């Protein structure tokens, strides 16, 4: 049966958040009505634009951005508490939102941020929508945090990557949540493993490394590691290498920060969703895109459509 009422929860995950756009498109095409939206980080951004009726304008804009356009818009900085200011993006977003206030949106909306001074979540349910979104998308170490009413605010995904709590009690037929931090490979064991810090022969760990590197490292880096140990643990000059490897070439602070937050967020999400499970869960693999791959909008929107259609079909909520 089409036309059901949906409480929608949109998770954090950088550029993977374009998936949310595809998910919303599918819900509309199937005749469902979104009656409440909550989001963290990119989920707060897409959810806020949707609640304001401006998601189409935003989608038109981002699908036309090249990688060069994205780099220009991100406002990189060499000083301050973040590597990216986002002022140009914020200006465009504010222009699209045109002064929208959360309390006047046609759909109830909550943006989740994290107060790193008080170490607690902050739920924005009133006030300027663009400010609430800006607070929620401040990825620690990457995007400069902002102060709002004496609170130093960073990404909502730090404490609540998929914020189910704000939609509890909503008069909806079902809840649907989208998690952007799914396993990078199927059936990955998340339990702790014991390991020795002593360097072991390459034949004992190369296979594990190659499997673990799939979807995380670029192929040229994987090949360089394999070549480095292709001579029975000795380098090109016959010397025994140190008992550990340096970081891979080209690995930047953006990669380390986003991967660390993804690792932390996946654990938090697993525990929080076990307590408050949605009726429909759309899970996006963590390696679907890097956090800053904002030039891949069309591809990720299409992925969102595919994953959402499959999740709805499996849950049979349309019946």
- Report the catalytic residues: 41, 155
Nearest to 268 by CA among 172, 165, 127, 133: 165
Largest CA distance in the chain: 70
Half-sphere exposure of 64 (CA within 13 A, CB side): 6
Tell me, letter by letter, the H, E, C secondary structure of 51-88.
Answer: HCCCHHHHHHHHCCCCHHHHHHHCCECCCCCCCECCHH
Which residues neighbour 93 within 8 Å (Cβ) at sequence distance 6 or greater? 45, 49, 58, 130, 133
Tell me, letter by letter, the H, E, C secondary structure of the chain.
Answer: CCCCEEEEEECCCHHHHHHHHHHHHHHHHCCCEEEEEEEECHHHHHHHHHHCCCHHHHHHHHCCCCHHHHHHHCCECCCCCCCECCHHHHHHHHHHHCCCEHHHCCCCEEEEEEECCCCEEEEECCCEHHHHHHHHCCCCCCECCEEECCEEEEEHHHCCCCCCHHHCCCCCCEEEEEEEEECCCCCCCCCCCCCCCCCCCHHHHHHHHHHHHCCCCCHHHHHHHHHHCCECCECCCCCCCCCCCCCCCCCCHHHHHHHHHHHHHHHHHHHHHHHCCCCEEEEEECCCCCCCCCCCHHHHHHHHHHHHHHHHHHHCCCC
């Amino acid at each position: 049966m089409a036309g059901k009422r949906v409480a929608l929860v949109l998770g954090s995950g950088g550029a993977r958040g374009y998936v949310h756009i595809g998910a919303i498109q599918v819900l509309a095409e199937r005749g469902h009505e979104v009656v409440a939206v909550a989001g963290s980080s990119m989920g707060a951004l897409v959810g806020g634009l949707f609640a304001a009726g401006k998601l189409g304008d935003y989608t038109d804009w981002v699908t036309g951005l090249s990688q060069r356009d994205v780099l220009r818009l991100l406002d990189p900085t060499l000083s301050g508490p973040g590597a990216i200011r986002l002022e140009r993006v914020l200006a465009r977003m504010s222009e699209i939102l045109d002064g929208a206030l959360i309390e006047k949106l046609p759909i109830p909306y909550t943006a989740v941020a994290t107060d790193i001074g008080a170490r607690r979540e902050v739920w924005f349910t009133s006030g300027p929508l663009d400010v609430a979104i800006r607070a929620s998308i401040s990825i620690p170490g990457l995007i400069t945090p902002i102060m709002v009413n004496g609170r130093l605010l960073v990404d909502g995904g730090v404490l609540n990557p998929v914020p189910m709590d704000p939609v509890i009690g909503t008069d909806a037929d079902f809840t649907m949540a989208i998690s952007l931090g799914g396993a990078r490979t199927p059936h990955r064991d998340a339990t702790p493993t014991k390991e020795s810090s002593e360097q072991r022969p390459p034949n004992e760990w190369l296979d594990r490394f190659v499997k673990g590197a799939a979807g995380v490292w670029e192929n040229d880096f994987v090949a360089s590691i394999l070549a480095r140990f292709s001579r029975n643990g000795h380098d090109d000059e016959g010397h025994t290498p140190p008992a550990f490897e340096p970081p891979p070439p080209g690995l930047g602070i953006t990669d380390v920060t986003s991967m660390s937050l993804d690792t932390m967020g996946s654990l938090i999400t697993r525990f929080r969703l076990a307590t408050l499970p949605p009726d429909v869960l759309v899970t996006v693999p963590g390696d679907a895109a890097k956090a800053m791959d904002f030039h891949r909008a069309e591809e990720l929107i299409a992925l969102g459509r595919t994953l959402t259609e499959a999740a709805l079909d499996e849950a049979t909520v349309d019946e």
